[in-house]
Structure 1
Amino acid sequence: MTSRVMRAAAISSGCLAFLIALLCAVLTGSARAAGPNMGTEAQRESGKKLYLTYCSQCHGDAGDGEGYAASRLYPRPRNFTTGKFKVRTTPNGALPTHEDLVNIIKRGMPYTSMPAWPSLSDGQLSDLAYFITTFSPDFSDPEKAPKTVSLPGAPKSTKESIEQGKKLYAETGCDGCHGTLGRGDGPSAPTLVDDWGHPIRPADLTQRWTFRGGSSREDIFRTLSTGLNGTPMPSFLDALKDEERWAMTDFIDSLSESHDPGYTDLVVARHVLDPIDLTKGTAYFESARVARFPIIGQITEPVREFHPPTTSVTVQAIYDTESIALLVRWHDMSAQKTGKNGPSLPVPPEEEEGAPAPAAAGGAQAVTDPFAEEQPAPAAQASEFSDAVSIQVPSQVPTGARKPYFIFGDAQNSVDLWFFDLARPDPVQFTGRGSGNIAPNDTGDLTGVASYDQGEWSVIFKRPLRATSGAPFSPGQFMPIAFSVWDGLSRERGNRRGLTVWYSLYVEPETVPSAVGPMVKTALLILAIELAVIGWVRWRYGSRTRGEFGGKPTQPAATRA
């Protein structure tokens, strides 16, 4: 009896297990039969209309990244037919989720030609993402349905985690591309290419506002976990534990002072007591305020630069009793100290046409590159053109609101160009009356020094406050000022360069008058006036009252008869 019951129980357990397995198989089969979520036909059709209106100009009608604007853009528009997407929450090499596509369309990619689309509704963003999945057959393959990786919440950043991340940064070879200080100047940086053979620059980790996938700690952790498809950047998901990836995230986050570049429109020249000595380098500028200005491409005059490698410059200014000096700094992947450069060097028109760039020397490198960004090809001969920088000021102090044309002045309003070819020991001065009319005007007043250290150029210009030629600089005065940077590795010279628009230089007076003294003097003067008025009123109306009642001044008792 007992054995019979046991056999029945065993049979029941076996049947139950079989039914559970069968149910799982059915459910799995149903899930596979359903396939990935690619939206409805109506949603994809709606997305197609949006795509042809807003996206095809860059990404092409066929989604192959060959739109008519593609040759002008860096990084080049993504080829959707390959199924390779940089910013995702899925494993390295995997497709993005629908939410990943929606998020990147909505947020855009900073410092590229891919804008954010906050004007599109959630429904439109979703429809557009569904249509993009139609360009690659991988999205319809059930075996390739995307699954997200585990992205735990951010722990608190500490000094200990930052120090641990710094060690991991070196141990895992991040400095090979991004450099010791994270400025994107590692030894492998000039040789990197993406999966399509396009040269690709490692991002500057000290400027996280330029990160394509976002600048938050969560964004950085995600990139370290998933990698960037199509670039030399692998995933650290298996190589590092969660806490180790968070430690590296904290270190990368610590390399920037802010999520925002803090751009301004004013640089203040501060007075210093000691005579400015160029041999002491940047030490003089420690007390001067730092101003950061954005660099944009010169796209007005031919030959144009649509995406300059330099994205910003920082400027500090000081002056003594005789001279003014400006320190200009920017980050550069590789210093070009040979060759030549100049503000009027000719550039062949074909260099603007966006012909396919040759692959960088050395081929693709399997090295870590968490925030890679594509750029124009480096020169076949890296030393053909040197790096250079210039400061531009009006030749005469403007008397009104009108300034010279910001691209090297104009016929009526010339500019002085303080130009430093960084393959030469000294700067020289030019006078510009337009990009086609630039002439040397070197009076010997301009001096300077330049140095390059671990991915950063530091260039100091010095000129008398009242030079032989050019506008004077006076305390309490505002002066228009602009900057240009030429990257020799990217063959920039002449009109092909990055530049700023006009900003302002303010020469701060040696001693700023205190407002307390004038305020006290004014208050005392007003008080004296008030007391005088009160005294006069009392005397005047007191005499009138006595006269009306026939009274006479009372005599002291000692004088009475």
Structure 2
Amino acid sequence: MRQLVLNREDGTKNQNEYMMQQSIIKLKPMFIKKNYLCLYFIISGIVILLTLSLQSEFFYLYAQEELTIRETEENIKAGKTIYMKKCQYCHGIDGDGEGPAAPFLDPPPRDLTRARYKIISTEVGELPTDQDIFNVISNGIPDTSMPGWSSLSKKEIWQVVHYIKKFAERFDWYKEIKKVSKIVEIDVPQPATEESIERGRQIYMKKLECWKCHGEGGRGDGPSAPELLDEWEFPIKPTNLTKPWKFKIGSSERDIYRAIITGTAGTPMPAFIRGNTKKELWDLTNYVKSLGPKKRPQRTTVLKSKFISDNLPKDVNDPLWNSTEAVEFPLFGQILEEPRMYTPSVDEIYVKSIYNNNEIVFLIEWDDNTQSKHGTTKDGEAVYADSLAIQFPVKIPESPVSPRPFFMMGDLSSFVNLWLWESDPNVFKELNAWGIKKKKDQSEESKDIEGKAVYEQGQYKLLIKRNLTTSDKKDDIQIEVNKFIPISFLVWDGNNGETENMMAISSWYYLFLEKKETGVNILYSALALFFTVIVEIIFMKGIRRRAQYKSTSIMT
């Protein structure tokens, strides 16, 4: 700066140079300030990043601590306390699967002393990871009595994991030799094209012959199914591949692929990883996936019967059935009266209904891996006919909240009307009941129901039809439009020893016949819409006139 001033005094620099030098002198502090500002932001950013890094590391360590509670004597002891309170009733005090509740469960509880777990992420023959066991306890297993223990904290579940591992010496042996189970490697799924699905079907039917257990339609009705036993000599049913929501291993493509290549420990389901290419196994996976519906049928409390003006369908495969959606109704075993049925074979049915001016018809579908007829098994055990009944109160309650008959075939104060079908012989009957042990067949002359039953590939399709009203007002339900009519269902699987009181039953639901769409209804609807539009136009014009009047008054 001093040199610049001297240069100016000496006259050695012209005016332009002087002006430029003065500009630099003024700008230099600004550059210094900006540099300091940039440096401040850089340092602040580094500090923030370090802080976030330390925080994330802290939370990561905290999460890891929460997810992997260490296998200490203290935690094992705590796990035992939880096990004795929550688990031993099914799995037994010693983990052998022989708890007091075991005889009433199907499938039976797992024997934890053998370390044979169904849902694993490891290769064939390997022990499950601790995380595998944690997941089973946390999530439960679909279609079994094993619930998900969401009431337990993660810490408590890990404590149970460490305790139940003590039932099987193999876990200690792995730990002693420092052996780690190998995790199954699963590639990216192949697209489920029509060609891939067809190749998978060929593998299912021919190369691997999966149909011999799972059935041609995938409903677990293959010729080998009745003879299958698990590792503990208990009868076991093949998985019904048409109901993916019941898959114990999960229903995604990766879950199905893993089950195919690892098998299911303790069951007749083998591992197919050897002798098959990855492409073949993915084709099979895509075919299995295609056997289930894209959407599970809805569960609801009301079965809506659709009105049509034409004749009702007379066949279970009539295209008219495609115009209405099925409703899923869950069933449970009858355990209130002796003899009880704790393990019914059928736990859900799917129902559709259509009616016209004179009649109503129901289509009921359910899976049953055997078509039963009266007789005995090779071991001398009795086999009974398969049966299904629709149950109504004889008198429709005044409202949905009015008292209904007892759901197990009524009571002395409220009789019920049963529409019954039996497979052997193939007959339809009408009954009245005022208790589970108090029922009476109606005479053949007074019978008003008719129907048709078809059994194919492990599934029953049953059509039952009747007039909306009958001449017998005393013993028959008189079906009315726009009424909430109580309805329930009873199912017997004869091959499972189900007869009389031993059955699957639903609670009360409602049948509702949707209002008829007649020409008069449509005319009234159109007139109502027209009247509404006219009123709205008049109303809007009135508002506009008042607004114009107010603006004119203000101006004047």
2:546 matched to 1:510? no
2:17 corresponds in structure 1 to none
Tell me how far 1:62 sits from its aligned partner: 0.4
Tell me how far 1:532 sits from its aligned partner: 11
Tell me how far 1:156 sits from its aligned partner: 3.9
Per-residue CA deviations over 1:167-188 (Å, capped at 9, x if unaligned) read: 2211211111111111111111
Distance 1:380 1:243, change over 3 A: farther
For 2:117, which of 85, 92, 96 is the aligned residue? 85
Tell me how far 1:89 sits from its aligned partner: 1.6
2:96 matched to 1:44? no
2:181 matched to 1:178? no
How far apart are the structure 2 equivalents of 1:331 and 1:468? 35
For 2:477, which of 440, 447, 471 is the aligned residue? 471
1:391 corresponds in structure 2 to 390
How far apart are the structure 2 equivalents of 1:324 and 1:268? 12
How far apart are the structure 2 equivalents of 1:134 and 1:511? 67
2:458 corresponds in structure 1 to 455
For 2:505, which of 499, 505, 518 is the aligned residue? 499
How far apart are the structure 1 equivalents of 2:131 and 2:295? 24
Note the 1:307-326 alignment, pairs <5 A: 307-326=343-362
Per-residue CA deviations over 1:232-275 (Å, capped at 9, x if unaligned) read: 01111223233322222221111112464532222222223333
Residue pair 1:84, 1:93 contacting (<8 A) in 2 also: no
How far apart are the structure 2 equivalents of 1:300 and 1:145? 49
How far apart are the structure 2 equivalents of 1:317 and 1:92? 48
Tell me how far 1:277 sits from its aligned partner: 6.1
Distance 1:265 1:300, change over 3 A: same
What is the SS of the residue equivalent to 1:201? coil
Residue pair 1:445, 1:468 contacting (<8 A) in 2 also: no
1:105 corresponds in structure 2 to 137
How far apart are the structure 1 equivalents of 2:297 and 2:134? 26
How far apart are the structure 1 equivalents of 2:230 and 2:159? 29
2:210 matched to 1:159? no
Residue pair 1:91, 1:235 contacting (<8 A) in 2 also: no
How far apart are the structure 1 equivalents of 2:315 and 2:431? 25
Distance 1:194 1:261, change over 3 A: farther
Larger RCO (CA under 8 A, 6+ residues apart): 1
How far apart are the structure 2 equivalents of 1:180 and 1:239? 23
Residue pair 2:316, 2:363 contacting (<8 A) in 1 also: no
Residue pair 2:306, 2:513 contacting (<8 A) in 1 also: yes
How far apart are the structure 1 equivalents of 2:252 and 2:199? 19
1:75 corresponds in structure 2 to 107
Residue pair 1:209, 1:261 contacting (<8 A) in 2 also: no
Tell me how far 1:464 sits from its aligned partner: 1.0
Per-residue CA deviations over 1:481-510 (Å, capped at 9, x if unaligned) read: 111110010010112111211111111233
2:150 matched to 1:115? no
Residue pair 1:44, 1:127 contacting (<8 A) in 2 also: yes
Residue pair 1:38, 1:133 contacting (<8 A) in 2 also: no
2:512 matched to 1:480? no
How far apart are the structure 2 equivalents of 1:380 and 1:147? 46
1:425 corresponds in structure 2 to 426
For 1:53, which of 85, 89, 93 is the aligned residue? 85
How far apart are the structure 1 equivalents of 2:356 and 2:258? 50
1:235 corresponds in structure 2 to 271
What is the SS of the residue equivalent to 1:101? helix
2:351 matched to 1:290? no
Q: How many residues align?
A: 464
5+ residue gaps in structure 1? Answer: 1-36, 341-359, 362-378, 536-561
Distance 1:229 1:380, change over 3 A: farther
Tell me how far 1:90 sits from its aligned partner: 2.0
Note the 1:397-408 alignment, pairs <5 A: 397-400=396-399, 401=401, 402-408=403-409
How does the TM-score come out when normalised to structure 2? 0.78
5+ residue gaps in structure 2? Answer: 1-68, 546-556
Residue pair 1:209, 1:259 contacting (<8 A) in 2 also: no
2:127 matched to 1:127? no
2:491 matched to 1:490? no
1:354 corresponds in structure 2 to none
Which amino acid in 1 is paired with 2:267? T
1:440 corresponds in structure 2 to 441
How far apart are the structure 1 equivalents of 2:375 and 2:418? 20
How far apart are the structure 2 equivalents of 1:70 and 1:381? 22
Distance 1:533 1:205, change over 3 A: closer
How far apart are the structure 2 equivalents of 1:434 and 1:99? 50
Tell me how far 1:211 sits from its aligned partner: 1.2
Tell me how far 1:228 sits from its aligned partner: 0.7
- Identity value in percent: 33
What is the SS of the residue equivalent to 1:127? helix
What is the SS of the residue equivalent to 2:233? coil
In our comparison, the structure showing a higher alpha carbon Rg is 2
Which amino acid in 2 is paired with 1:416? N
